[in-house]
Structure 1
């Protein structure tokens, strides 16, 4: 199983009135983690979009364990939790500067045509990417 790691400096604008990272910002960090994972495997999400294919989130599960605060470094670990050639489920763990687990999450995605939102068979359309996912998944 391949695990990508992406460090993110927590910016003041990402915190809420309580001084902790606002919950929705973790979703952005998860996207950064997915992008890093895809790059680590030798591909580009932007390149896929240029071909008229997008990969919307169809399900999300997130659990907040510890707060992250301004000035800390968040480290996002991302991997392919499950993959079947049509749907990809990514796993995430986000750690604080001390290495404590702050967030666990999964997000599910399918690939669709950008103009119609009709599902496409990822393994048929992107066979090299499919093979890399098969090798990298949990």
Structure 2
């Protein structure tokens, strides 16, 4: 399985009037760690785009267990849990500095041709990078 994690200290701008992270910001956090995940695989978005591919979000979900607050040091994790057809499922978890699970969720992406804007089968090069990464780790 391909994994990545990042640390992120919650700035005041990410919080709402109650002093907790605004719920939609977790999807931004998912995007940040997903970038690292793809980069770790050797597949940054710039490479996908230069190969004529896009990776839009087809669905997103988030289950909030506990709030994250201003100045919390978060550990944001991502793993690719499925590659099938044209879809890639990325599962995310967010923990606070005490190790408490705050959020679990994920995003499903569809590989799409930038020319036709239509779904395409996951390219062989992507599957190869995925498999090579799994073998090394």
What's the TM-score once normalised by structure 2's chain length? 0.89
- 1:15-94 aligned within 5 A: 15-94=15-94
- Give the Cα–Cα distance (whole angstroms) in 2 for the partners of residues 115 and 27 of structure 1: 27
SS in 1 for 2:68: coil
Q: 1: CA distance between counterparts of 2:128 and 2:84? A: 11
Distance apart, 1:10 and its partner CA: 0.6
1:129 matched to 2:112? The reply is: no
Q: Tell me, what secondary structure is at the counterpart of 1:46?
A: helix
Cα offset, 1:115, TM superposition: 4.4
Q: Structure 2, unaligned stretches of length 5 or more? A: none
Instruction: Give 1:91 deviation, angstroms.
Output: 0.5
Cα displacement (A) at 1:60 = 1.3
Checking the alignment, whether the CA contact within 8 Å between 2:90 and 2:108 is kept in structure 1 is: yes
Deviates more, 1:43-52 or 1:29-38: 43-52
Q: Following TM superposition, by how much is the alpha carbon of 1:114 offset from its aligned partner in structure 2, in angstroms?
A: 2.6
Distance between the aligned counterparts of 2:94 and 2:128, measured in 1? 27
Q: Is 1:4 matched with 2:4? A: yes
In the alignment of these two chains, the number of paired residues is 133
Shift in Å, 1:69: 0.8
Q: Which runs of 4+ in 1 moved over 6 A?
A: none
8 Å Cα contact 2:2-2:130 kept in structure 1: no
Q: Secondary structure at the match of 1:3?
A: strand
Distance 1:51 1:128 in 2: 11
Q: Bigger CA drift: 112-121 or 40-49?
A: 112-121
